[in-house]
Structure 1
Amino acid sequence: MTIKQSRIISTVLSPACGVWLRSQVEQVKELQVKISGGDRQILGGYIPHISIIADHAVYQGLHLSKINLSAENIRINLSQVIKGKPLRLLEPIPVTGQMLLEETDLKASLASPLLSNALTELLGTLLTSAGINQPNELLKDNPIKWQQVTLDNNQLTIAGVLANKSDNLTPVAIRTGLELASSHVLRLAPLHIDTPLESASRNLDSFELDLGSEVDIEELKIMPGQLVCRGSINVIP
């Protein structure tokens, strides 16, 4: 290894990866990036392996307690990075790893429009499956403020309040078990919905949520106060 090559790798690539990753999150308590590969490979824009460990990161309002990721065969625009351009992926890459979500961080994530809107849309879909007419229109006129997440053994409870036009608040909750129907399909079962819309409560045997073919989940475990997910996802540039 020449001194020039060593300086390019240490002073350009690693900081550029760190800057790019930090630009993707709103905050992160700790971030570790480890790059492996030969000089010629890396200087040609090819990274054989990269590992990333992050603690208490916040992405689009979503609080992630701990993530441990690794990826291989990564191609980047290193020639442009050297000239001061932002780092960019040139090809899709499979990323594998494990994610730990703590109950407190999930509760904090409820303030994110990304998660809040997704939960409201999910509730509308569940209510449609339960036979309630036009629940999405009802939920549009009666917004939900999600407030609480509880994690127990194989049990997830998400609760909030529904506000009507008179600002009267009514409790709403989704209680469900969570398991893998396949590597990219989550099965919610048994499933119970507490809602004031047309009925005090509704039960569904199960409901399946397809996360897409780019997702491959190997393990999903709910424990008291924690949720652990292990698998891989294809990252598209």
Structure 2
Amino acid sequence: MHKENSSPKNPQKIRIITNVLKTALLLWLRSQVSQISQLKVEIQASDRQLLSGRIPGVSIFATHAIYQGLHLTEILLNAENIRINIGAVLKGQPLRLLETVPVVGEVILNEEDLNASLSSELLSTALNDVLLKLLPEHSPNAKPITWQKISLANNNLIVCGIQAPETNPTTIEMSVSIELLSTHSLQLSQIQIKHDTAVLTEGNQGHYLDLGSDVDIQELTLIPGKLVCRGRINVNP
């Protein structure tokens, strides 16, 4: 009996296309960071699902990644129900997300990487916002602060910087206890802010920091030398 020998070609072509899609996804992930030491990606999708532009799940493990100037020691993430621009990718265009993707996972920053992140706009702006929250009289028009060192203790953060006018630069030291109040807000307490040797503010009165609706933190742990954060964040297209 004569057997058709053309049928295996279709699965082979599909496999080639899905390999292209997986490569495009890896390239997109790498494009989100300026540097990465190790990246492992597991794509939980059938060939048919990939060809429809829907990816039920992706698991990502990375070490020593730099995202917008933040040095991330270790990342373990899981994303579900991802929609991508499949038609454009097959034409050789870059991969894009078509919908917001909720990402659940864990991020670890050791103290060394946290200090390396001080020059990033994200971290320096966050520290300035905290200082303004705790010390409202420190207006945005004040001399800029160059943050230089972060130390981590049990639920406590100590950050030091230099406020540098043209002559006679002065030091700023901010010590604050941080606890998770809700999934999108932090409580700041046991506050002490020094300007040179003068104590500007000190007390245990609680202040609250809203992290926004795109954040859903389940755990935030500060221990000597390490910060661990577990939760969910929305990645927008």
Give TM-score scaled by structure 1 length: 0.90
Return the match for 1:62 from 67, 70, 85: 70
SS in 1 for 2:98: coil
Deviation at 1:196, TM superposition (A): 5.6
1:203 matched to 2:198? The reply is no
1:153-172 matches, within 5 Å, as: 153-166=154-167, 168-172=168-172
The aligned residue for residue 7 of structure 1 is 16
RMSD of aligned Cα (Å): 1.7
Structure having the higher helix fraction is: 1
Deviation at 1:160, TM superposition (A): 0.9
SS in 2 for 1:34: strand
Q: In structure 1, what is the Cα distance between the partners aligned to 2:128 and 2:153?
A: 22
Q: In structure 1, what is the Cα distance between the partners aligned to 2:36 and 2:234?
A: 23
Deviation at 1:113, TM superposition (A): 2.6
Whichever of the two has the greater Rg, that structure is: 2
- Identity over aligned residues, as a percent? 48
Q: In structure 1, what is the Cα distance between the partners aligned to 2:99 and 2:25?
A: 16
Structure 1 stretches (4+) deviating beyond 4 angstroms?
A: none
Q: Deviations over 1:65-91 (max 9, x none)?
A: 111101111110112111111101111
Q: In structure 1, what is the Cα distance between the partners aligned to 2:92 and 2:190?
A: 53
The aligned residue for residue 190 of structure 1 is 190
Alignment coverage as a number of residue pairs: 227
1:39 matched to 2:47? The reply is yes
1:26-175 matches, within 5 Å, as: 26-128=34-136, 132=137, 135-139=138-142, 142-166=143-167, 168-175=168-175
1:215 matched to 2:215? The reply is yes
Q: In structure 2, what is the Cα distance between the partners aligned to 1:137 and 1:9?
A: 51
Q: In structure 2, what is the Cα distance between the partners aligned to 1:62 and 1:17?
A: 22
Q: In structure 1, what is the Cα distance between the partners aligned to 2:196 and 2:223?
A: 29
Give TM-score scaled by structure 2 length: 0.90
Q: In structure 2, what is the Cα distance between the partners aligned to 1:207 and 1:17?
A: 41
Question: In the alignment, is the contact (CA less than 8 A) between 2:187 and 2:208 conserved in 1?
Answer: yes
Q: In structure 2, what is the Cα distance between the partners aligned to 1:210 and 1:117?
A: 15
Q: In structure 1, what is the Cα distance between the partners aligned to 2:16 and 2:202?
A: 62
Deviation at 1:224, TM superposition (A): 0.9
Unaligned runs of 5+ in 2: 1-9
Q: Deviations over 1:206-235 (max 9, x none)?
A: 211101111110011111100000000112
The letter of the residue matching 2:17 is I
Unaligned runs of 5+ in 1: none
Q: In structure 2, what is the Cα distance between the partners aligned to 1:126 and 1:109?
A: 22
Question: In the alignment, is the contact (CA less than 8 A) between 1:121 and 1:136 conserved in 2?
Answer: no
